[in-house]
Structure 1
Amino acid sequence: MMLAPGMEIMLRVDRLSGDGRGVGRLNGLAVYVDAAAPGDVIRARLTRLTRARAEAQIVRVEEPSSSRVTPRCPHVGTCGGCLWQHLDYHAQAAAKEAIVTESLRGLGGLSEVRVRPIIAAGDPWHFRNRMEFSFQPPDRVGLHRRGRWDEVVDLQTCFLPSPRTVTVLHVVREFMRQHAIPCYDTRTHNGFLRHIVVREGRATGELLVALITAAGPFPEGHDLAQRLRQEVPGLTGLLWAVNASKSDAVDADAVYVLHGRPFIYERLGGLTFKLGLLTFFQTNTVQAERMLEVVREFAGLRGTEHVADLYCGVGTFALALAGQASQVIGIEALRAAVEAARENAALNGITNTTFYTAEAADLRWVLALQSRPDVLVLDPPRAGAGVAVMRAIGALAPPRVVYVSCNPTTLASDLRELQGWGYEMAAIQPVDLFPHTYHVECVVQLQRIAGR
């Protein structure tokens, strides 16, 4: 059968891909379909065709999979926040475990993969402790439409953050409309309101709200603060942040406190962390706690070891391991994060950590302050650590490496590089911090083979 774009086909969906789409095979060709569930039999319309693969859109689900459920949110299909609400949560967790296994086995060239059962979320709803909402003229505020940087879905509800965060969204939207405050247009760069950031301390109950605007006066700011104090319980701080750049990224050139203080506290792993507007921190406190337990287990510390922590951020892993180590050195490229890590160490009375601003591949700081580390921990961004960093680690030759990854594909590539330096995987633990998406965290323990 000759295939062509626009043709309708019947397809049985076999699995989910690493980017969240359903995959079936037709005439030996892999067909990728959005919003599909493994076990679905669907009628689909081909939208793109190459020699290696095809893409299609569902026309009708002829036989629904047993794992298909009715999405809870009315914005599913338009909002880019969730892609898997049509899947039973147990099926989501199983798919993520399979994605980790297949990524490491297929993409990493790793023949023997021993993946532990995924640590699934106890409650897959209302888990996010930080949300970024965007404005769009004339008066929309919410999350971006899937695949569109220039279009915002006007959210009426959201089941990812707490109900308190959704209340903030409603209060700000109503206030904006009552006072006719113009939204920023990312195409023309006119307007004022750009983003709302809501950050919540799930263990402390504290709440920080920031309204990010273009440059200009904001005479309504104190009235908004009064409205939020009245309608949002436990408001710790309200910030007005000015971002004068044309970039749509959440950033701030200047920050003004309209109420309370410009930070909140959160507790994780028995430690207290100070979090500001732009501080990077895991967005699922409950699951981050469980992931931290895995990192501690895989580090296997007994109190005498020297530890190096690359991409240390605000010190989450370094500080969590400090109580079980002799010395911990944290390396981070962002100066603000290093300053926050030092402040968090002082906040918790930890004195055996040292933090430096440096690129992860520059391990001279580690060697200058300690002999070869007994354990090296790294938690790189989605792009992975890359060849230069992995080679630097290989040359440093720590006996044990604990790699925390948010991207199985780049994890596989990095691990393959490290294998060439005499390391083997001892344990692999997936953790689900992002229900209703295809994103999955993974912690890998690697041991250096004796004599290598």
Structure 2
Amino acid sequence: MDCSYFDAGRCTSCALMGRPYARQLADKQAHAEQLLAPFDVPVWETPVASREDGYRNKAKMVVGGSVDAPTIGILDADGHGVDLEACGICSPGHRAAFPVLARFITRARLTPYDVRRRTGELKHLIVTESPDGELMIRFVLRSTEPVPRLRKHLPTLLAELPHARVVTANVLPEHKAVLEGEQEIVLTEAQTLAMRLNDVTMHLRPQSFFQTNTEIAAALYADARDWIRELAPDTAWDLYSGVGGFALHIAGAEGDGATAGPEVTGIETSVEAVASAELSRTDAALSRLRFASGDATAFAVGAEASPDLVIVNPPRRGIGAELSGWLEASAVSHVLYSSCNAASLAKDLAAMPSLRAVKARVFDMFPQTTHFEVMVLLERR
């Protein structure tokens, strides 16, 4: 894949841009195997390749420029807006929406936030596209002052973007390097975006995390379901469950989905993500699945009994010493570890010597970057 922004030095976020994709994937596989070499993984399944471009389902764009000439992209070193409306890794739906959103910013007089002067209102645009082509559009604002103008001009935006299902105003009053604030004002009747992966529908609320690459996420969850089906556990925990991708897939792995599969508990710190997961569980009528908000480590350490299987899908820092120690000392027979950071994965595996690797697989969730997902199945020796 080639990128004119990268070639011109306007955006260098995709560090591997221009490198042949086959080489990118081979290098990621080699890196994963090197980091996990101490654990003697007996089977490395073929890495799952992604599309090279248009793979991102979520675009997190900084708004710069002026109200009459807004930029949608990033800021340069001096805080000036760099327009990236034609970014090649964003989905075609994103790229079609950006010019419409730029016109809407002008029409609704949403003054872009000036980082240096700390003036203006509109900080970011966060746009998520579902597998069905529907959009969730979030305007991240410094205050609620522009909300009446958003409401006034919303019908025009929806007419120009008929696939926009959810539109919100997120309020981030603080001047700090974060993407969004705690307050979310939903402006449309619909409050969730349906993300249909495999035979599972997940209902995504505005502040819920979802895997960046829809096609690779579907492959990840499908493999997890196949690996777990062979184990036939009676009970399972999905720790760091997010919107429930793993739990929803394994709970409905067999039969009619209502009573088949293991009894599953999903634990996630984000209240919004849990609300999304619960809506999906209710919609699918999965009676042996439940979700709760809480800390994964505290939940495990405080539990009266351990399950047959534990799934962990932690942030880049990994699961940490305490949860690794608990898993090592527990009676859990299998662990499915999905990691976006193979280095922290290796550190966690070193703390669980009683759990040996059975197989692993690399999933290229982030083409054109050095990042990837790797999933490992562990069983007690």
Provide the TM-score with structure 1 as the length reference. Answer: 0.75
Structure 1 CA distance for aligned equivalents of residues 301 and 351 of structure 2: 23
Aligned with residue 129 of structure 1, among 57, 82, 107: 57
2:266 aligns with 330
Q: Residue in 1 aligned with 2:206?
A: 277
1:240 maps to 2:169: yes
- The one-letter code of the counterpart of 1:131 is A
Question: For residue 67 of structure 1, what is the aligned residue in structure 2?
Answer: none
Correspondence for 2:28: 96
Three-state SS of the structure 2 residue aligned to 1:119 is coil
Q: How far off is 1:118 after superposition?
A: 0.9
1:341 counterpart = 2:277: yes
The answer for the alignment partner of 1:141 in structure 2 is 71
Deviation at 1:304, TM superposition (A): 5.2
RMSD, aligned CA? 2.5
Native 8 Å contact 2:242 2:274 kept in 1: yes
- Which one has more relative contact order, counting CA pairs under 8 Å at least 6 apart? 2
Q: Which residue of 2 aligns with 1:74?
A: 5
Q: Map Cα deviations across residues 111-139 of structure 1 (whole Å, 9 max, x no partner).
A: 56643321111x22212111111123445
Moved more, 168-177 or 296-305: 296-305
Q: Match of 1:33?
A: none
1:190 and 2:119 matched: yes
Partner of 2:15: 83
1:7 matched residue in structure 2? none
1:405 and 2:334 aligned: no
Measure, in 1, the Cα distance between the counterparts of 2:46 and 2:233: 31
Deviation track 1:391-415 (CA, whole Å, cap 9, x = no partner) reads 1111223111110000111111111
Amino acid at match of 1:102: Q
Residue of structure 1 equivalent to 2:370: 438
2:124–2:179 contact (8 Å) kept in structure 1: yes
Aligned partner (choices 210, 213, 223) of residue 141 of structure 2: 213
> In the alignment, does 2:112 pair up with 1:170?
no
Moved more, 350-359 or 423-432: 350-359
1:141-186 CA-partner distances (Å, limit 9, x unpaired)? 333368x595542114112222221232222223434665421123
- 2:83 is matched with 154
Q: Which residue in 2 is equivalent to 1:268?
A: 197
Q: Structure 1 stretch 430-439 or stretch 260-269: which is displaced more?
A: 260-269
2:328 aligned to which of 389, 394, 405: 394
Partner amino acid, structure 1, of 2:267: I
Match of 1:424 in 2: 356
Are positions 1:415 and 2:349 aligned together?
Answer: yes
Letter in 1 for 2:141: T
Question: Does the C-alpha gap of structure 1 residues 285 and 376 become closer, same or farther in structure 2, counting only changes over 3 Å?
Answer: same
> Structure 2: which amino acid aligns with 1:92?
Q
Query: Structure 1: how far apart are the matches of 2:12 and 2:189?
Result: 32
Task: Identify the structure with the greater strand proportion.
Answer: 1
**1:95/1:264 Cα in 2 relative to 1: closer, same or farther (>3 Å)?**
same
User: What is the DSSP-based 3-state SS (H/G/I as helix, E as strand, rest coil) of the residue aligned with 2:206?
Assistant: coil
Residues 79 and 143 in structure 1, CA contact (< 8 A), matched pair in contact too: no
What is the alpha-carbon distance in structure 2 between the residues aligned to residue 336 and residue 412 of structure 1?
30
Aligned counterparts of 2:303 and 2:43: Cα–Cα separation in 1: 33
Query: Per-residue deviation at 1:220?
Result: 3.2
Match of 1:256 among 156, 173, 185: 185
- Structure 1: state its 5+ residue gaps: 1-69
| Corresponding residue number in structure 2 for 1:315 | 244
> Which structure: greater helix fraction?
2
Structure-2 change in CA distance of 1:310 and 1:128 (3 Å): same
Aligned to 2:257: none
Aligned residues: 370
Q: 2:375 is matched by which residue type in structure 1?
A: V
Structure with the greater alpha carbon radius of gyration: 1
